[in-house]
Structure formats: structure tokens, C-alpha cells
Amino acid sequence: MRRVIISGGGTGGHIYPAITIAEAIKEKEPTEILYVGSKTGLENTLIPKQGYDFVTLDVRGLERRLSVRNLVTAGKTAASLFQAERIIRRFKPHVVIGTGGFVCGPVLMAAALSGIPTMIQEQNVIPGVTNTILAKVVNKIALGYEEAAERFKQKNKLVFTGNPVRQDIMTVSRQEGLAFLGFDPQKFTLVIAGGSRGARSINTAMLTVHKYFKDADDIQILHITGDHEYDRVMKQLDGVNGQGFYGKGSRIVPYSHHMPSVLAAADLVVYRAGAVGLAELAARGIPSILVPYPYAAEDHQRYNAQAFVMNGAARMILDKLLTGSDLLDEIIYLKENRPLLQRMATASLAMGRSDAAAVIADIALDLAKKSKYAKKEG
């Protein structure tokens, strides 16, 4: 049986691709998977729920300035390298995969120093700090965007795979999605989501949109505000009922645990530009209006969004320029221009790689065959 270590954490953008890759590997052959995360990241709650063996390292990210905290962090990072080496020696992995986040730094570095085959998966157009460093020592680099290739010097290691997308995103039909939401198949469906915590700028702009379409008969809107923003939005819209319905066609909810059904129903979405969300849009061929999160590391969401805009799959409004009237104008323009919307949908689908997880799994398992442990075990 293959043994694989996967490491990545801090945010869902690193964790969900890791889970999807793990599932793809298990589908191809029996595999024992160990997930290595940090003690403070979101992976602490997500990974155990998936049923994977899970261990942690005491490590955290560096600030971008000289500080006492950075000195402490540097010491913990050095110690975590020894922790990671002990984990590797005990587990004897055939391959080690990193999906980003500071925790995978010591794990993949220790694996590389131990002669274990390694690979990283970079989700964004602008690589993260950890993956940029690890690129020097790993065997393969799986790219979510072709545009990211110019950011890496190690051209012989690069493979464009696309970003992995969970299978349930692609298996729900439009009819099933509309039925799940209780929406009318004859109406234009607009979906808005700004992440689990919500995007205040998008939510504020949507107040204008909801009021404009309050009495419209040809559009239905699902607005997912995020848990932390829901009460604020509800207080600013008069006439919302207890189930979150506003006017003839708007429904406002704090969160959805059924995004495959939600996306299946969408004709157009308003989104941030995180790599995982964009990969899901592309897998389904959904046109979008993107409002990149302005404080993402290295401004990577703006570069992600630009890739979609340049390919004709999306339109973009910068967060600092976002107003309710501008967002409303974009929505009306696309809603009334169906040929353009269809071209955007086609362009979005062309950017998707529904087989990304399977391709990454194949690369990982091919590397695993070259492991010193695989050779010893015959």
C-alpha cells in the first residue's frame, strides 16, 4: 500500500485542494494518507472530519518585517523541521505533497532532505512565499494557472494541471440545483457569495441591487452574506421576512452548505477571486463578476481575476472602486446581453480542468514509484 503525506493549511484555499487530491489518489489505488497541519490553522477542524490521520507542527507564518514575533517564529520553524523529519522517518512516505501555507514548508523541506520524492501544488497566478521557496527543492510543481509559470525559475519541474475541484461540484445538474433552491427554471438566476465570513464591500453594494430588483419578475437572487455580515445586511433591508426573502425574487442567507447545488443553478455569480472558487466556476462554465479581496498576499486575487478577464470568462470591479450602482450596471448589462453571457460561459469552461485532481494524483503516484521506500519494499 502506498503511503502519502499531504501538507497544507491555514486557509480553505490550501486545505480543500489537499482534500480533493487525497481523494483522487485513493480512487486510483489503496493508499495510507497522513495529513500534517499546523496547530492553529483551519485544518484542525476540517481534516479530522474527513477521516484522515492528522498530526500537527508548532509553526506559524513570518511577518513581513523585523520583530520579536518573527524571531520566535524563526525558532519554531527550525524546531518544526526536526519534528517533520521525525514524522517522515516514522511514517516512511513514498511521496510528500504540499498545497501551500507555511506549515508545508518544514514538511516538504524535511522530505526533500531525506531523499523522499516531493511535489507542490500552486493554486494562484502569484505563488505564495512558501511555495516559492520550496520550488528550489521539490521534484514537481503542479500549476493551477498557466500564467504562474513565469513566476518560477525551475521550468523543468512545471506541469500545468489546473486547480483540483471536488467531484460533487460537477455532478449536480442545473435542474437539480434549481429544484433544491426552489427557483423557477424560466428566470435568470444570480448568485452572490463573498466567502464564509462574508465580504462587506460586496454585501453593501448588493443593497442597491436588491432594491432595484425588488419587484422584478424575471430574476431570482441568492445572496450568501457570510455569517458575520448577515445581521448587518438584514437590518438595512426593510421588508425581509424570517426566511430571508426580500421582494419578489431575492433570498438572503448567511451561509450555504450546498454550494454544488447553488452553482449548478447560477446563470451569473458575483464572487471574490480565490483560486478554489474560481476553479469551481470554471469547472461548470459559469460567467462571473469578480471583486478580488484587496488584502490577499501579494494581491494574488487580483491576478487570478485578471486571468479570467483576459480569457473573456469574467468582468472585474476592484474592491476600492465597487459601488452599488456600478455592480447593478454590470449585472443588468450581462443579464440583458445573453450572447455575451454565453461567450463568457464558454470561456470560463475552457479555463476549467475537471481532471486536475486525477492528473495531480497520477504525477504523485509516479513519483512514489521512485521512492527509496518503494524500492526497498519491492
Query: Where residue 69 falls among pLDDT bands split at 50, 70, 90?
Result: very low
Query: What pLDDT does 62 receive?
Result: 43
Query: What pLDDT does 66 receive?
Result: 37
Rounded average pLDDT over 275-293: 97
pLDDT(57) > 90: yes
Q: Which residue has the higher pLDDT, 377 or 23?
A: 23
Query: What pLDDT does 76 receive?
Result: 55
CATH architecture of 168-351: 3-Layer(aba) Sandwich (3.40)
Query: What pLDDT does 79 receive?
Result: 83
Beta strands in the chain, from DSSP E residues, in sequence order = 2-7, 31-38, 53-57, 95-98, 118-122, 140-143, 158-160, 188-193, 219-224, 245-246, 250-253, 268-271, 288-290, 314-316
Q: Which residue has the higher pLDDT, 68 or 114?
A: 114
**pLDDT cut 70: percent of the chain above it:** 95
Query: What pLDDT does 378 receive?
Result: 61
Query: Where residue 198 falls among pLDDT bands split at 50, 70, 90?
Result: confident
CA 84 to the chain's CA centroid: 26
Query: Where residue 19 falls among pLDDT bands split at 50, 70, 90?
Result: very high
Average pLDDT, the chain: 92
Residue by residue, DSSP assigns 191-234 as EEE--SS--HHHHHHHHHHHHHTTT-SSEEEEEE--TTTHHHHH
Query: What pLDDT does 60 receive?
Result: 62
pLDDT(193) > 70: yes
pLDDT(61) > 90: no
Contact by Cβ (8 Å): 290, 307: no
pTM more than 0.85: yes
Query: Where residue 377 falls among pLDDT bands split at 50, 70, 90?
Result: confident
Residues forming beta bridges with residue 95, ordered by sequence position: 4
Query: Where residue 75 falls among pLDDT bands split at 50, 70, 90?
Result: very low
Angle between helices 324-336 and 200-212 (to 10 degrees): 60
Question: What digits encode the pLDDT tens for the residues 228-238?
Answer: 999 999 999 99
Query: What pLDDT does 190 receive?
Result: 98
Query: What pLDDT does 74 receive?
Result: 42
Domain segments of the chain as ranges: 2-165+355-377, 168-351
Residue 153: count of CB within 10 angstroms of its CB:
9
Query: What pLDDT does 41 receive?
Result: 85
Rounded average pLDDT over 295-318: 96
CATH architecture of 2-165+355-377: 3-Layer(aba) Sandwich (3.40)
Rounded average pLDDT over 126-140: 94
pLDDT(64) > 50: no
**Looking at this protein, which amino acid is placed at residue 237?**
L
Rounded average pLDDT over 310-333: 98
C-alpha–C-alpha distance, residues 302 and 221, integer Å: 25
pLDDT(58) > 90: no
pLDDT(215) > 60: yes
- Which of 65, 91, 293, 61 is closest to 195 using CA atoms? 293
Rounded average pLDDT over 361-378: 87
Rounded average pLDDT over 100-114: 94
C-alpha–C-alpha distance, residues 15 and 339, integer Å: 37
**Looking at this protein, which amino acid is placed at residue 198?**
G
